[in-house]
Amino acid sequence: MTSLSKGAALVRQAVLAAGLILVAGSTWATAAEEAYEPAITKQLWSFAGPFGKFDKAQLQRGYKVYKEVCSNCHSMKFVSFRNLSQAGGPGFTEEQVKALAATVKVQDGPNDNGEMFERPGKASDRFPSPFANPEAAKAANNGAVPPDMSLLAKARSAEKSIYTWPINWLLQYQEYGPDYIYSLLNHYGPEDSKVCETGYYNTAYLGSRPCFAMPKPISDGQVTYDDGSKETVEQYSRDVSAFLMWAAEPKLEERKETGFKVIIFLIVFASLLYFTKRKIWANVAH
């Protein structure tokens, strides 16, 4: 028996040693990379947490930034004008949405004569794309297609560290996308920086080097706000990040509200079942 326990102890030591190698391995892997840590900082968002809701005024401002700045290069092909007046969104009225849609020209057709024609946009139209096709987008943007923005806020993630898994799960951290977009817009380096041969110096960019393909898109004062909010890059990027989160997850509020009711119901139901089960088993030793 004692020799066997020793055997088991040996195996345990071996596993421990393997674990140590593992830790050492991860240290080597880190050392092998350049000492570049993207500067992504978590922000407080109104839509975070179990009762999170979008800030309507913020979404409206974000839409303005998107429309006047981002949409010059980025498409947003899964979002329609009508979404802007849907519950849990920026809260535009249907009249405002019709007016917004009417500002764009949409190609429609063919008509009864078999001809394509242009008409003013309707609420049911998707947001127009800035380029006719990916080739045109490439040609205008140094050979890279600017990514579609419909899902951007869910398609980027900062980290997948094993240490933060359980915490993120408990604290319901799902805002890595807007955190990243916000950080990117606020971490452009000086324009005369010589760090990057290609791309633009950006210390939040997730990559092996701090060089981002997109030039600094926005400066202080570029977009006019009507509600007295600050017209700074910091404020613009906060607003547009929130707007992109809404664009990627327009049913976020409905989801969280439903979730709260469902979970409360399930907990109450489980409690009743627990007492039922206890009563049934009361006379059986188990």
Partner 1 sequence: MSGHSTYVPGTAFERWLEKRLPIISLVHDSFVSFPTPKNLNYFWTFGAILSAMLGWQILTGMVLAMHYAANDAVAFASVEHIMRDVNYGWLLRYGHANGASFFFIAVYIHIFRGLYFGSYKEPREVLWILGMIIFLLMMATGFMGYVLPWGQMSFWGATVITNLFSAIPLVGSSIVTWLWGGFSVGDPTLNRFFSLHYLLPFMIAGVVILHVWALHVVGQNNPAGIEPKSTEDTVPFTPYATSKDVFATVVFFVIFAWFIFYVPNYTGDPDNYIEANPLATPAHIEPEWYFLPFYAILRSIPDKLGGVLCMFGAIAVLFVLPWLDTSKVRSATYRPLYRQFFWILVIVSVGLGWLGAQPPEGGYVIASRLFTAYYFIHFLVILPLLGLIETPKPLPTSISEAVLAKNGHQPAHT
When asked if residue 215 is in the footprint of partner 1 (CB under 8 A), the reply is no
Q: How far is the CB of 141 from partner 1 (least distance, A)?
A: 15
The strand ranges marked E within 5-83 are none
Classify strands 105-108 and 117-120 as parallel, antiparallel or unpaired. antiparallel
H or E, element range at 222: none
When asked if residue 88 is in the footprint of partner 1 (CB under 8 A), the reply is no
Residue type, 93: T
Q: Would you say 142 and 130 are in contact if contact means Cβ atoms under 8 Å apart? A: no
């092996």: which residue's tokens?
208
d(CA 236, CA 216) in angstroms, rounded, equals 13
Which of these segments, 55-63, 144-152, 209-217, 218-226, binds partner 1 (CB under 8 A)? 144-152
Q: How far is the CB of 236 from partner 1 (least distance, A)?
A: 24
Among 18, 35, 87, 282, binds partner 1 (CB under 8 A): 18
d(CA 275, CA 281) in angstroms, rounded, equals 10
When asked if residue 120 is in the footprint of partner 1 (CB under 8 A), the reply is no
Residue type, 235: Q
Positions in the binding site for partner 1 (CB under 8 A): 1, 4-5, 8, 11-12, 14-15, 18-19, 21-22, 24-29, 32, 50, 78, 83, 147-148, 150-151, 154-157, 160, 162, 168-169, 172-174, 176-177, 248, 250-251, 254-256, 258-260, 262-263, 266-267, 269-270, 273-274, 276-277, 280-281, 284-286
